[in-house]
Amino acid sequence: MMLSSHPRRLTREVKVGRVGIGGCNPIRVQSMITCDTMDTAACIRESLELAQAGCEIVRITAPTVGDAANLKTIVKGLRERGCDVPIVADIHFKPEAALEAAKWVEKVRVNPGNYADSKKFKIVEYTDAQYAEELERIRERFAPLARVCKERGVSMRIGTNHGSLSDRIMNRYGDSPLGMVESALEFARIARGEDYHELVFSMKASNPKVMIQAYRLLVARLDELGPDWNYPIHLGVTEAGDGEDGRIKSAIGIGSLLNDGIGDTVRVSLTEDSVNEIPVAQALVAPYNAAAEAGAGVVADCASVLSGAAGFSPFGYRRRLSGRLERQGVALGDNETIRVFATQPQWDAVARSLERLGDCKPEIVLEKAEVAAVDPRDADAMAALNSAPAPRIVTVADGVEMPVVEAFRLLAARLKDGHCILLKDTLCPAPAGDKALAALLQAATAIGSLLCDGIGDAVLVRGEAAAASAFRLSYNILQAAGSRIFKTDYVACPSCGRTLFNLQETTARIKAATSHLKGVKIAIMGCIVNGPGEMADADFGYVGGAPGKVNLYVGKTPVKFNIPEAEAVALLQDLIREHGKWTDPALAQRT
C-alpha cells in the first residue's frame, strides 16, 4: 500500500502505562476482549491471547461498579503472568464505575453521549442559559474523574460515537459530524479546566463517510483552538461487521485518515474473535510506521487536506460533477451508477462463467472504453484534455510515481468538470499473489477513500490476482463506501462484555435468513449502548435488550420488546414483510 504525501500530524505524547500514544511513537494497535468482565479467568486468557497476537493496548468493558472493581483482579492476574499490556476500562453510562476503574487501569474510555446522560430522543429547544445548566450538570459528574485520573497518572479517551450522541447535542447540532466533535470538546474543556491533559480523542461511526468527515473536522477544530490542543487521535470504524465486508469498511475509514496524516492508534472492530482484528490493524499501520522508521517522521500539517486544496470538500460529501457517457452499452458519469471495469485479460478469464458471478459482473472493458491515461502533473496533457470538445473517461497513467490517493486527488483538482474519472487501486499493476489481505486493504484504502471524497465514476481493481475475486472486491468496496448498494447491508457491532447474545452466531443466522434482500440495511447490536443511533440509517434493527431477550427496531424506533432469542430471527423476517421490504428467496435469485 502506498502512502500519501501528507506526513503524520504531530501530536503530544500521552502515556498509557508503558505505551506512548502520539508524539514520535509508532501508530499503536489495540483491541477489546469479548467476555463477561466478572469472568476473571476468561478476561485474563483473552487479554493474554491479544497481547501474544501483537495487541499493544487491551480494552475491557466496565458497565457496573462491580465490573470496574474486578479490573483490579484481572490486572493483578495479568501482571503475575508477566504480561504488562496496558488495560483500558470502557465506560458508558456510570460515572461511579469510571471512578472505580480509574483505581486499577492505565486508561479510561468515556463516551460523552452516554456519560451522565440518559438518551430519550427528546426534542427540546434549549436556551443558552438552559444549555449552560446542562453543561454544569455534566461538569459536576465528569470533573471528579478528571481529577482522579490526573492524580493517578491515568490517561483517558474521550470517545464520541455517532450512534450515541446525547439529546443535548442532537437538539443543538443534529445527528452530524459537527455534533460529534462538539460533544467531545465539551468534555475536553471540563478536563482542561482541571488542568488534566492526558487525553486521546475518537470519532467513531459505522458509516465511513461520517467517520472520515468527523475526524477531519475534529482535527481542524483542534488546530483552530491552538497548539496545546494537539491531542492524539484514536481511529476506528464502529460496527464494521465481519469477513471481507468488515475489513473493507475498516480499511476505507481508517486508511483514508492515515493517508491524510491523521491517527496515532487504531482499533479494527470486527464481529469475530478479537485476535482476528490484530493482523488487519497491523497491516493498515505498517507502511506508515515503516515510513516513520525510515526517517519520514511526523509533522504538524494536515492543512492541504483540511483546506480542501486537494480537490474535494473534506467535511461534507459531494460527488464530483461529470457528464454522462456510454461505453459498451453501459452509461456512466453524471448521476449514473458507479461502474466496474475489467481489463481484457480479466474479462477473458470469466467470459464463460459470467452468470456464476451473480451481481458481481464486470460492466466495461478497459481496452475498449477509450480511456485517456495521464500524469496529472503534466500541464500540457491536462490542458489538452480540458480543451476537448466532449467529455472523456480519464484515469491516472500506470507508472506515475505518486501515491494512488494523491494522484487521483490531483487529477480531480486539475481536470475540468464534465470528464469522468476511472479510479484504480494501483498504478503499478503487479498482482499480490497469495497476499489476499494486502490486495484487499490496498484497494479499499485507495478506491474507498476517493469514493468517500466524492471522486470517481468507475473503478478498476487489479491488485487481486483472481479476476472473479477482483470484481467481488470492487462491488464490496462500492457498497462499503455507500456508493452502490447491490446486496443486503449489515451493520454489526463487535462483541464485548456488554453483549447480551452470541454476536457471531446471531449475525450468521440473520444473514442466512436475509442475505437475499438487496438494498435492505439491517443493524445487529449486542446491547443498547450504540444501537438506536447507529441504526438511524438502517431499515431494521436487532438489539440485545436483556439476557436471552431481543428488541426489534424499525429505523431507530423500537417496535417489539423482550422477544425470546429463539424466536427473534423469524419475527425480524415478519417485521420486514410487514414493511413491504421482503422478497421471496427464490424470486430474488431469479432477478
DSSP string, 111-152: -TTTTT-----------HHHHHHHHHHHHHHHHHHHHHHHHH
Q: Which residues of 79-113 are buried (b: 16+ CB within 10 A; e: fewer)?
A: eeeebebbbbbbbbbbbebbbbbbebbbbbbbbbb
Tell me which residue of 4, 34, 15, 23 sits closest to 297, measured CA to CA. Answer: 23
Tell me which residue of 2, 10, 11, 55 sits closest to 290, measured CA to CA. Answer: 2
Query: Backbone dihedral region of 57: left (phi > 0), alpha (psi from -120 to 50 degrees) or beta?
Result: beta
Whole-number pLDDT of residue 399: 96
Q: Does residue 508 share a domain with residue 381?
A: no
CB under 8 Å to 494, separation ≥6 — which residues? 32, 34, 239, 240, 269, 270, 271, 272, 274, 277, 503
Beta bridge mates, 553: 541, 558
Residue linked to cell 460523552: 112
Q: Does residue 88 share a domain with residue 222?
A: yes
Determine whether 357 is exposed, middle or buried from the number of CB atoms within 10 Å of its CB (0-12, 13-18, 19+). Answer: middle
Instruction: Flag whether 204 is in a domain.
Output: yes
Task: Read off the pLDDT of residues 311-339 as tens digits, 9 standing for 90 and up.
Answer: 677 888 899 999 999 999 999 999 999 99
Q: Does residue 471 share a domain with residue 535?
A: no
Q: Which of 259, 279, 306 is the last residue of a domain?
A: 306
Q: Does residue 332 share a domain with residue 291?
A: no
Q: Does residue 249 share a domain with residue 341?
A: no
Q: Which of 241, 273, 306 is the last residue of a domain?
A: 306
Whole-number pLDDT of residue 300: 35
- Cα–Cα distances (Å) from 40 to 46, 68, 70, 449, in that order, read 10, 12, 8, 41
Reading the block at residue 581, the C-alpha cell is 421490504
Instruction: Return the number of other C-beta atoms located less than 10 Å from residue 467's C-beta.
Output: 22
Beta bridge mates, 235: 266
Residues spanned by the domain of 24:
14-306
Q: How far apart are CA 189 and CA 434, in angstroms?
A: 49
Instruction: Flag whether 370 is in a domain.
Output: yes
Q: Which residues of 474-512 are buried (b: 16+ CB within 10 A; e: fewer)?
A: bbbbbbbbbbbebbbbbbbbbbbbbbbbebbebbebbbe
Q: Does residue 144 share a domain with residue 33?
A: yes
Q: What is the CATH number of the domain that holds 228?
A: 3.20.20.20
Q: How far apart are CA 90 and CA 22, in angstroms?
A: 20
Stretches where the chain sits below pLDDT 70 are 1-6, 118-123, 240, 295-311, 431-434, 493-500, 527-536, 586-591
Report how many domains make up the chain. 3
Beta bridge mates, 549: 546, 564
Q: What is the CATH number of the domain that holds 503?
A: 3.30.413.10
Q: Which of 275, 306, 337 is the last residue of a domain?
A: 306
Instruction: Flag whether 37 is in a domain.
Output: yes
Whole-number pLDDT of residue 533: 56
Q: Does residue 494 share a domain with residue 468?
A: no
Are 497 and 67 in contact by the 8 Å Cβ rule? The answer is yes
Q: How far apart are CA 35 and CA 47, in angstroms?
A: 10
Q: How far apart are CA 532 and CA 387, in angstroms?
A: 51
Whole-number pLDDT of residue 491: 77
Instruction: Flag whether 359 is in a domain.
Output: yes
Are 514 and 537 in contact by the 8 Å Cβ rule? The answer is no
The 8-class DSSP code of residue 464 comes to S
Residue linked to cell 508477566: 82
Q: Does residue 147 share a domain with residue 243?
A: yes
Q: Does residue 456 share a domain with residue 366?
A: yes
Amino acid of residue 47: S
Beta bridge mates, 88: 59, 107
pTM to 2 decimal places: 0.89
Are 215 and 452 in contact by the 8 Å Cβ rule? The answer is no
CB under 8 Å to 351, separation ≥6 — which residues? none
Q: Does residue 473 share a domain with residue 499?
A: no
Instruction: Flag whether 238 is in a domain.
Output: yes
- Cα–Cα distances (Å) from 582 to 513, 521, 551, 579, 588, in that order, read 11, 12, 20, 8, 10
Q: How far apart are CA 534 and CA 169, in angstroms?
A: 16
Q: How far apart are CA 393 and CA 372, in angstroms?
A: 6
Q: Does residue 463 share a domain with residue 497?
A: no
CB under 8 Å to 105, separation ≥6 — which residues? 60, 71, 75, 86, 87, 88, 89, 154
Instruction: Flag whether 102 is in a domain.
Output: yes
Beta bridge mates, 159: 202
Element (H, E) at 569: helix 565-578
Instruction: Flag whether 251 is in a domain.
Output: yes
CB under 8 Å to 445, separation ≥6 — which residues? 1, 251, 252, 255, 256, 258, 259, 284, 405
Write a three-state SS string for 304-331.
Answer: HHHCCCCCCCCCCCCCCCECCEEECCEE
Tell me which residue of 346, 335, 397, 390 sits closest to 371, measured CA to CA. Answer: 397
Q: Does residue 286 share a domain with residue 348?
A: no
Instruction: Flag whether 252 is in a domain.
Output: yes
